[in-house]
Structure 1
Amino acid sequence: GDAPELYRLLQTNRDSLKRFLPIYEDGLSSCESVKRYLETDQSFPNRYRFGISDGAVLVGQQTLYPVGNNNGEVTTWVAAEFSGNDYAARAGKLLVEFAFDRLGFTKLISHVDIRNKAALKLVLDSGL
């Protein structure tokens, strides 16, 4: 499955991820915990988690959670070694289309730490 590849990406990017996404600081510290995390997601039918890939290589992840009526909350991250390639912006545009056109959402929310310049750029570039 996806757990070993996601775990590897988390391990190599833990320091940069934990600054903005605290779940990655202490949680998901083993391949087994990542596997359980992904399995738990399946019990939430309205939560969508997408891998961001370049061919067969996982480069990041996006998650879409429903909040309220027809609203969604988005989290996105791309591994540091793959930043600067517009992966997040391209994935963000696809996620916006999916949320509005397929799910009927009317509003998307993305909480961004103002210190995270890449995330601010993503929100502006993708329309999140």
Structure 2
Amino acid sequence: MSTDENRLEATLQTKGLNAPRLTPELIDASIVGEAYHVFSGTTLTVCALTLRNGFNVTGESAAASPANFDPQIGRQIARKNAREKIWSFEGYLLRERLAAKADEERGQDDAVQVA
């Protein structure tokens, strides 16, 4: 979790914004595996994060100057970039769940009015 994520999380908690939402912990918990590949003769590093449902998310990094290429830094940046993509996917999934719940509640309200 980044310093920015920690700060934002603290602000949300301080303001009592506790409606269903994503947290850095939920994002991290969705990751069950990771793999890296550096393409031969390049500085291009790809990280593939495997999510709990088997879906894979990728992130990339590449040094502009081969003289500055450090494999560990390449892995860190590629992983960070892949992890950032998870927020969108998990956000969509949460919104779908909230919409389904609202639809279900509306359906129950309609059933009560009919009876």
Which category of TM-score, normalised to the shorter sequence, fits these structures? under 0.3
**Larger fraction in helix:** 2
Greater strand share, structure number: 1
TM-score by structure 2 length?
A: 0.27
